[in-house]
Amino acid sequence: DTEVTQTPKHLVMGMTNKKSLKCEQHMGHRAMYWYKQKAKKPPELMFVYSYEKLSINESVPSRFSPECPNSSLLNLHLHALQPEDSALYLCASSQEAAGGQQFFGPGTRLTVL
Amino acid sequence: GQSLEQPSEVTAVEGAIVQINCTYQTSGFYGLSWYQQHDGGAPTFLSYNALDGLEETGRFSSFLSRSDSYGYLLLQELQMKDSASYFCAVVGNQGGKLIFGQGTELSVKP
């Protein structure tokens, strides 16, 4: 299995809702990532997990809360989001955190009303 | 600061060869990656150069010169399906952090 899966594909939520994005990989990768991408812009790193521990938090607002329950799973919990948080949220994984080859999931298209 | 420069748009015809350049200025450097992203899709890894020189993978090649802080992606025998955005990305000294360029939108015309 050489893919990263993400659910849901699309999500519409109000500013008072709580929702979660899920990501899964079965490639035995030890590093997993969350990115945010706006239209016509590059992916913007949010969080890095290495060996199930949070190693990088790019000063992301606390309304985004990552969780790594095990080496194959990565969640992103969302609470009290703003309309400007609407974007494509991408999960990625790599063999180790220092590698240049990251495998991206198809993303979750999030709309905050 | 950390920055990567690449052209915003490139247009070429089917069957042609196109080169997308990337210059970088980063506080640490382990290697240069290239990713392709079609509209509505996810980034897909194309290549990674950690050492100077040319890496070839089918129709795509990537080059790195560490002394010049410069690299390029070369696409040969262009096909319509190559129309996409191409991002260069530096692997810096913060483990796991890829620093992306702004992307080059490649349009392949018939």
Instruction: Enumerate the residues of chain B whose CB falls inside 8 A of the CB of residue A94.
Output: 96
CA distance B100 to B110: 30
Distance CA A23, CA A104 (A): 10
Q: Mean pLDDT over residues A45-50, rounded?
A: 94
**pLDDT, tens only, B63-94:** 999 999 999 999 999 999 999 999 999 988 77
Q: Which residues of B32-54 are buried (b: 16+ CB within 10 A; e: fewer)?
A: bbbbbbeeeebbebbbbbeeeee
Shortest distance between the Cα of A84 and any Cα of chain B, in A, equals: 19
Q: Give φ, ψ of A29 to 5 degrees.
A: -70, 145
- Over residues B45-68, the mean pLDDT reads 95
A41 touches chain B (CB under 8 A): yes
The interface residues of chain A toward chain B in range 49-108, judged by CB-CB distance below 8 A, are 50, 55-56, 90, 94, 97-107
State the Cα–Cα distance between residues B49 and A10, nearest whole angstrom. 35
Nearest in space to A50 (alpha carbons), one of A92, A108, A8: A92
Tell me the average pLDDT across B3-13.
96
Q: What percent of chain A has pLDDT over 70?
A: 98
Question: pLDDT value at position A67?
Answer: 97
Give the best residue of A34, A54, A55, A104 to mutate against chain B (max B CB count within 10 A): A104
Q: What is the pLDDT of residue B1?
A: 67
Give me the mean pLDDT over the A54-75 stretch.
Answer: 95
Which chain A residues contact residue B102 at CB under 8 A? 41-42
State pLDDT tens for residues B13-26.
Answer: 999 999 999 999 98
- Answer yes or no: is pLDDT of A89 > 90: yes
